[in-house]
């Protein structure tokens, strides 16, 4: 997991293929004006989802993890108190991994909370279980998905 401000995006563009294109999208000057929806950046290798959602409470929320994609989650407005726990320490899976949706849920308690506000991002790799959208108010955010196996 990486947590940083968008102005430091240049530090991460060479981590894995696709990060350069993902951060170029996140640095668009019109990003906060784009409508809610999905945006292909490099086909399904790199794509983004822009959302405006009402935050949810920690009660009943589940940690999630992905195997096929890395998430870069950037908050544009509001506060997203994202929870984090290393996947290898998650002991309470809720069902099996769903390959079609690329998601596995866990009923574990996060080890760390990241109060994420405008201009901050978190990168979640496949070994990072995370609990997004925890807030008492609305959240405007972008999630860039980068395929683990670029082809």
The predicted structure's pLDDT at residue 150: 75
- Report how far residue 21's alpha carbon sits from residue 31's, in angstroms, rounded to the nearest whole number: 14
Rg (CA), the chain: 15
For residue 146, list its beta bridge partners: 46, 70
- Report how far residue 111's alpha carbon sits from residue 84's, in angstroms, rounded to the nearest whole number: 6
pLDDT in tens, the chain (151 residues): 999 999 999 999 999 889 999 999 999 999 999 999 999 999 999 999 999 999 999 998 999 999 999 999 999 999 999 999 999 999 999 999 999 999 999 999 999 999 999 999 999 999 999 999 999 999 999 999 999 987 6
What domains can be seen in the chain, in order of their start residue? 2-147 (2.60.120.370)
The predicted structure's pLDDT at residue 16: 86
The predicted structure's pLDDT at residue 151: 62
Burial 31-63 (b: 16+ CB within 10 A, else e): eeeeeeeeeebbeebbbbebeeeebeeeeebbb
User: What are the CA-CA distances from residue 39 to residues 35, 48, 51, 145 (Å)?
Assistant: 10, 5, 11, 10
Contacts of 31 (CB under 8 A, 6+ apart): 25, 76, 142
- For the full predicted model, state whether its pTM sits above 0.85: yes
């Amino acid at each position: 997991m990486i947590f940083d401000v968008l102005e430091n995006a240049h530090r991460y563009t060479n981590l894995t293929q696709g990060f350069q294109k993902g951060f170029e999208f996140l640095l668009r000057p019109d990003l906060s004006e784009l409508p809610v929806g999905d945006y292909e950046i490099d086909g399904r290798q790199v794509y983004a989802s822009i959302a405006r959602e009402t935050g949810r409470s920690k009660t009943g929320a589940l940690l999630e993890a992905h195997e096929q994609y890395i998430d870069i989650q950037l908050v544009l407005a509001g506060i997203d108190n994202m929870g984090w726990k290393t996947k290898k320490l998650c002991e309470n899976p809720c069902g099996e991994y769903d390959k079609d949706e690329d998601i596995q849920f866990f009923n574990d308690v996060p080890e760390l909370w990241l109060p994420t506000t405008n201009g901050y991002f978190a990168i979640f790799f496949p070994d990072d279980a995370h609990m997004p959208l925890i807030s008492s108010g609305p959240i405007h955010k972008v999630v860039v998905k980068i395929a683990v196996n670029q082809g």
